[in-house]
């Protein structure tokens, strides 16, 4: 421990986007002027984006939180006269969370492997290193962990398929193509606690007998790419990755592959094609990627959050994880609260919290102060939920029962100025731009969808039935969720906000 | 290309490297890459044209990517960007006549709790408003 002043300031993109680097420069200048020995730790984000840049100053063994901090606040910050939130753990938004996947995020320097170990890191991998593949897969199955990318498929079943498949060449592929609007948990964990993902992938490798892993990381996340690459190098040098993982006598190594701006590559089969160097066109299933995946070999494809949750399951045990949650939605979900909200950020909690509680109590309603009109849950392919559905518990089956989906758990809040017809049109337009082109209902249907919505906007009421019909065709006739789920936002907007689809007509009459 | 040839699935890393060096993936590069990877030029062209990231011609001196996705729309991104594009006299993907700035749409930068968001030459910016965006575009064109 140095005698100087220890200050934590996030290197997370959201913090940087709100001026964290400028605050860092101001801190360095002011510390030099005052002759203070500054120990500045660039940590991950604690997830309270409305308080970013959130600065923590270590005083008497406590980390006192200040934010949002502007460069001009730095003198007062060092004087100790700036308004303080207490510790991060005192802030209600943080205090009511159950942090498992994100336990370390924001606590430590993301590239400090010793700090990672000191906070429970590598305990899970060390335990897994002493287990057989079948035991590892069994542990994941018992935890009830489901795919966090959106589909919610049980991770243990997928892993077991790969374990049973013929080797020797198998792969672990991490889907870090987090393209859904309103989601940023993958980015935050990769920027804030990358070793968790590395550890999770290594456990998966030991479990199914794969020796090579790839993180398919979108090009829109340059900061995450930089941190992940650095973390992989450090892990390799420390023997966490390589020919002899933690001395267990088994090999696992991995690398980052950068995407190229195609949303559809977040779909697992299109992602595999992209990794192989092909157009990111969707593949028909079967064969399942677990049997014929990357380069035709058995492959585990899991989302960042799924793999990053594996270490804590091995650290605390499957039963601990399975003890949380609601029904078949076991454990916790890092929910991302975004859009027009007073308190946006990452909120990890056990499954089951009602949507309205998240929107009103946790997030504090809209940032604009106007009434909430709609909440889109699950990204651009998720349904718009009206306030009448706010008692829906946040869990897979419960949302499904209400005609929605939790997807990657992004929650985007809109106030009463939102134009639902425009948002429905955007959903179709987005689908048209991003369609891989394989399925006609998606490739052409999305274009026709934009045209049909334009007709409705011009007052052609007869086009409404046509739109519903088109959506049915897209749902039934598309291989993947892009064409298949675009009808969710469109139809939910039409069903719950019919006035927005009739306004032009009335005006014309 | 050499450092990538021994990798599995080398085409995307190669295309990224070409664009990093040349500012785009020129058509003349396609047959060269195809030959080294034992692919047809059509296959390589198909890949280049599939992905939004790869450009046929270099962008302006600065690239401003502005998020168009739902979370940014919920805090007014649409009106903000329409105004900016109108002032620049270009459309999405266009470059100002002085070659100073290219404005591209991006669908989510993962800054959904601090939108409207943009990325200026790889540097992230959040909570854009008219003044902030004007200043960014002004600086980029200077």
Tens-digit pLDDT profile for residues B47-66: 999 999 999 999 999 999 99
**Is A16 at the interface with chain B, CB within 8 A?**
yes
DSSP B42-81: HHHHHHHHH-TT--SS---SEEEEEE-SHHHHTTTHHHHH
ipTM confidence: 0.97
- B45 and B71 inside one domain: no
Last residue of one domain, picked from the residues A386, A415, A444 = A415
CATH number assigned to the domain comprising residue A360? 3.10.20.600
Q: Please answer yes or no on whether A14 and B114 come within 8 Å at the CB atom.
A: yes
> Which two structure tokens, joined as six digits, stand for A135?
């035991």
- B83 and B114 inside one domain: yes
E strand or H helix at A126:
helix A123-129
Whole-angstrom Cα distance, residue A130 to residue A136?
A: 9
> Which two structure tokens, joined as six digits, stand for A341?
């909200």
Please give the residue of chain A at the shortest CA–CA distance from B111: A14
Tens-digit pLDDT profile for residues A174-210: 999 999 999 999 999 999 999 999 999 999 999 999 9
Last residue of one domain, picked from the residues A322, A339, A364 = A322
Over range A202-220, report the average pLDDT. 98
Specify the pLDDT at position A3: 67
Residue B88 lies in a domain: yes
- B135 and B88 inside one domain: yes
CATH number assigned to the domain comprising residue A269? 3.40.50.11540
Q: Are A199 and A125 in contact (CB under 8 A)?
A: yes
Q: Please report, in angstroms and rounded to a whole number, the separation of the first and last CA atoms in chain B.
A: 35
Q: Which residues of B touch A (CB under 8 A)?
A: 8-13, 15-16, 37, 46-47, 50-54, 65, 67, 69-75, 78, 106-115, 117, 119, 122-127
> Which two structure tokens, joined as six digits, stand for B16?
């990224």
Question: DSSP class of residue A256?
Answer: E
A 434-453 residues with CB < 8 A to B = 434, 436
What confidence category does residue A138 fall into, taking pLDDT thresholds of 50, 70 and 90? Answer: very high
Query: Residue A509 above 50 pLDDT?
Result: no
- A450 and A411 inside one domain: no
Residue B42 lies in a domain: yes
Tens-digit pLDDT profile for residues A44-95: 999 999 999 999 999 999 999 999 999 999 999 999 999 999 999 999 999 9
For an interface test with A, the pick among B7, B12, B70 (most A C-beta atoms closer than 10 Å) comes out as B70
Per the structure, the complete domain to which residue B40 belongs is given by 2-50
CA distances to A466, A504, A509 from A459, rounded to whole Å, are 14, 5, 9
A 70-89 residues with CB < 8 A to B = none
- A286 and A303 inside one domain: yes
Last residue of one domain, picked from the residues A362, A382, A415 = A415
Of A50, A260, A434, the CB nearest to B12: A260
Residue B55 lies in a domain: no
Q: Please answer yes or no on whether A430 and B107 come within 8 Å at the CB atom.
A: yes
Query: Residue A504 above 70 pLDDT?
Result: no
Q: Please answer yes or no on whether B10 and A430 come within 8 Å at the CB atom.
A: no
Q: Are A7 and A103 in contact (CB under 8 A)?
A: no
- A307 and A452 inside one domain: no
Domain count, chain A: 4
- B31 and B70 inside one domain: no
Specify the pLDDT at position B1: 81
Question: How many beta carbons lie within 10 A of that of residue A356, not counting itself?
Answer: 17
3-state secondary structure A315-375: HHCHHHHHCCEECCEECEEEEEEEECCCCCEEEEEECCCEHHHHHHHHCCCCCCCCCEEEE
Tens-digit pLDDT profile for residues B63-106: 999 999 999 999 999 999 999 999 999 999 999 999 999 999 99
Residue A47 lies in a domain: yes
Whole-angstrom Cα distance, residue A315 to residue A312?
A: 5
Q: Please answer yes or no on whether A14 and B111 come within 8 Å at the CB atom.
A: yes
What confidence category does residue B11 fall into, taking pLDDT thresholds of 50, 70 and 90? Answer: very high
E strand or H helix at A425:
helix A420-434
User: Which stretches within A146-303 are classed as H helix?
Assistant: 155-164, 185-192, 194-208, 222-237, 268-275
Helix then strand then coil, in percent of chain B rounded to 5, is 45, 15, 45
Tell which residue, A5, A101, A9, A160, has the closest CA to residue A332. Answer: A101
Q: Out of A170-174, A333-337, B135-139, which region has the weakest mean confidence (pLDDT)?
A: B135-139
Specify the pLDDT at position A2: 47
**Is A382 at the interface with chain B, CB within 8 A?**
no
Q: Please, is A284 exposed, middle or buried when counting C-beta atoms within 10 Å of its C-beta (0-12, 13-18, 19+)?
A: exposed
Of B12, B52, B70, the CB nearest to A257: B12
Tell which residue, A478, A456, A483, has the closest CA to residue A467. Answer: A456
Specify the pLDDT at position A418: 97
- A382 and A449 inside one domain: no
Residue B56 lies in a domain: no
Domain count, chain B: 2
Residue A94 lies in a domain: no
Residues of chain B in contact with residue A339, where contact means CB-CB under 8 angstroms, are 70-71, 74-75, 112-113, 115
- B71 and B130 inside one domain: yes
Specify the pLDDT at position A503: 60
- B37 and B67 inside one domain: no
Q: What is the mean pLDDT of chain A?
A: 96
Of B13, B74, B110, the CB nearest to A340: B74
Query: A105-137 in b/e burial notation, b at 16+ Cβ within 10 A?
Result: bbbbbbbbbebbeeeebbbbbbbbbebebeebb
What confidence category does residue A432 fall into, taking pLDDT thresholds of 50, 70 and 90? Answer: very high
Omega within 30 of 0 (cis) for the link into B73 = no
Q: Please answer yes or no on whether B70 and A181 come within 8 Å at the CB atom.
A: yes
Residues of chain A in contact with residue B123, where contact means CB-CB under 8 angstroms, are 16
- B24 and B69 inside one domain: no
Over range A303-307, report the average pLDDT. 98
Q: Please answer yes or no on whether B69 and A380 come within 8 Å at the CB atom.
A: yes
Query: Residue A150 above 90 pLDDT?
Result: no
Q: Are A482 and A267 in contact (CB under 8 A)?
A: yes
Tell which residue, A374, A364, A254, A260, has the closest CA to residue B15. Answer: A260
> Which two structure tokens, joined as six digits, stand for A384?
């718009």
Residue A294 lies in a domain: yes
Helix axes A487-496, A420-434, angle to 10 degrees: 170
Whole-angstrom Cα distance, residue A234 to residue A242?
A: 11
Sheet of strand B123-125: strand arrangement = B101-106, B62-67, B118-120, B123-125
**Is A416 at the interface with chain B, CB within 8 A?**
no
Residue B93 lies in a domain: yes
Specify the pLDDT at position B140: 85
Residue B26 lies in a domain: yes
- B87 and B45 inside one domain: no
- B17 and B40 inside one domain: yes
**Is A418 at the interface with chain B, CB within 8 A?**
yes
- B113 and B66 inside one domain: yes
- A175 and A305 inside one domain: yes
Residue A108 lies in a domain: no
Tens-digit pLDDT profile for residues A317-362: 999 999 999 999 999 999 999 999 999 999 999 999 999 999 999 9
- B44 and B68 inside one domain: no
- A24 and A166 inside one domain: no
CATH number assigned to the domain comprising residue B106? 3.40.30.10
Specify the pLDDT at position A1: 43
Q: Please answer yes or no on whether B108 and A181 come within 8 Å at the CB atom.
A: yes
E strand or H helix at A8:
strand A5-8
Per the structure, the complete domain to which residue A503 belongs is given by 420-508
Question: How many beta carbons lie within 10 A of that of residue A34, not counting itself?
Answer: 12
Paired with A451 in beta bridges are none
Residue A98 lies in a domain: no
- B128 and B77 inside one domain: yes
> Which two structure tokens, joined as six digits, stand for A481?
């969720």
Angle (nearest 5°) at CA B115 between B109 and B118: 50
Please give the residue of chain B at the shortest CA–CA distance from A263: B107
Chain pair A-B, CB pairs under 8 angstroms: 158
Residue A240 lies in a domain: yes
Q: Please answer yes or no on whether A183 and B72 come within 8 Å at the CB atom.
A: no
């Amino acid at each position: 421990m140095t005698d100087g002043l220890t200050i934590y300031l996030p290197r997370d993109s959201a913090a940087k986007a709100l001026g964290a680097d400028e605050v860092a420069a101001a801190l360095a200048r002011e510390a030099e002027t005052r002759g203070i020995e500054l120990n500045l730790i660039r940590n991950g984000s604690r997830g309270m984006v409305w308080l970013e840049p959130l600065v923590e100053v270590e005083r008497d063994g406590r980390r006192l939180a200040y934010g949002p901090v502007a460069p001009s606040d730095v003198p007062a910050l060092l004087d100790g006269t700036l308004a303080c939130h207490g510790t991060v753990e005192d802030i209600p938004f943080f205090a009511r969370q159950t942090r498992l996947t994100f336990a370390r995020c924001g606590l430590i320097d993301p590239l400090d492997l010793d700090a990672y170990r000191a906070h429970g890191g590598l305990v899970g991998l060390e335990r897994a290193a002493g287990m057989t593949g079948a035991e590892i897969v069994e542990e994941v199955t018992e935890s009830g962990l489901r795919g966090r990318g959106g589909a919610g498929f049980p991770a243990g079943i997928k892993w077991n398929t790969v374990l049973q498949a013929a080797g020797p060449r198998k792969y672990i592929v991490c889907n870090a193509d987090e393209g859904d609007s309103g989601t940023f948990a993958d980015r935050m964990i990769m920027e804030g606690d990358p070793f968790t993902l590395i550890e999770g992938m290594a456990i998966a490798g030991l479990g199914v007998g794969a020796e090579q892993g790839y993180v398919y990381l979108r090009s829109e996340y340059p900061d995450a790419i930089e941190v992940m690459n650095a973390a992989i190098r450090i892990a390799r040098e420390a023997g966490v990755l390589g020919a002899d993982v933690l001395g267990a006598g088994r090999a696992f190594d991995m690398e980052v592959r950068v995407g190229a701006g195609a949303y559809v590559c977040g779909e697992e089969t299109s992602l595999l094609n992209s990794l192989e160097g092909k157009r990111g066109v969707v593949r028909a299933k079967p064969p399942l990627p677990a049997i014929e995946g990357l380069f035709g070999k058995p492959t585990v494809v899991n989302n960042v959050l799924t793999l990053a949750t594996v270490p804590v399951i091995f650290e605390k045990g499957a039963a601990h994880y399975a003890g949380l949650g609601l029904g078949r939605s076991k454990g916790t979900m890092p929910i991302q609260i975004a859009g027009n909200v007073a308190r946006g950020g990452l909120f990890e909690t056990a499954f089951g919290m009602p949507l309205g509680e998240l929107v009103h109590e946790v997030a504090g309603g809209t940032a604009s102060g106007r009434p909430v009109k709609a909440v889109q849950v699950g990204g651009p392919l998720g349904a718009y939920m009206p306030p009448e559905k706010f008692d829906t518990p946040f869990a897979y089956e419960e949302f499904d029962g209400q005609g929605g989906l939790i997807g990657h758990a992004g929650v985007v809040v809109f106030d009463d100025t939102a134009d639902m017809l425009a948002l429905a049109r955007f959903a179709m337009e987005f689908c048209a731009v991003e369609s891989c082109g394989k399925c006609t209902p998606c490739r052409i249907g999305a274009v026709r969808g934009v045209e049909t919505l334009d007709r409705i906007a011009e007052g052609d009421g007869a086009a409404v039935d046509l739109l519903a019909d088109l959506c049915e065709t897209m749902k039934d006739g598309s291989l993947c969720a892009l064409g298949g789920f675009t009808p969710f936002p469109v139809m939910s907007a039409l069903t719950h906000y019919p006035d927005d689809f009739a306004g032009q007509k009335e005006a014309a009459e | 290309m050499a450092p990538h040839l021994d990798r599995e699935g080398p085409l995307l890393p190669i295309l990224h490297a070409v664009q990093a060096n040349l500012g785009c993936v020129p058509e003349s590069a396609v047959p060269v890459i195809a030959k080294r990877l034992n692919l047809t030029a059509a296959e390589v062209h198909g890949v280049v044209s599939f992905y939004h990231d790869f450009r046929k011609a270099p962008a302006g001196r600065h690239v401003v990517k502005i998020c168009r996705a739902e979370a940014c729309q919920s805090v007014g991104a649409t009106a903000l960007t329409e105004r900016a594009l109108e002032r620049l006299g270009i459309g999405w993907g266009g470059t100002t006549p002085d070659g100073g700035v290219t404005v591209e749409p991006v669908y989510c930068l993962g800054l959904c709790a601090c939108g409207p968001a943009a990325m200026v030459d790889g540097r992230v910016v959040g909570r854009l408003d008219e003044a902030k965006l004007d200043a960014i575009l002004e600086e980029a064109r200077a």
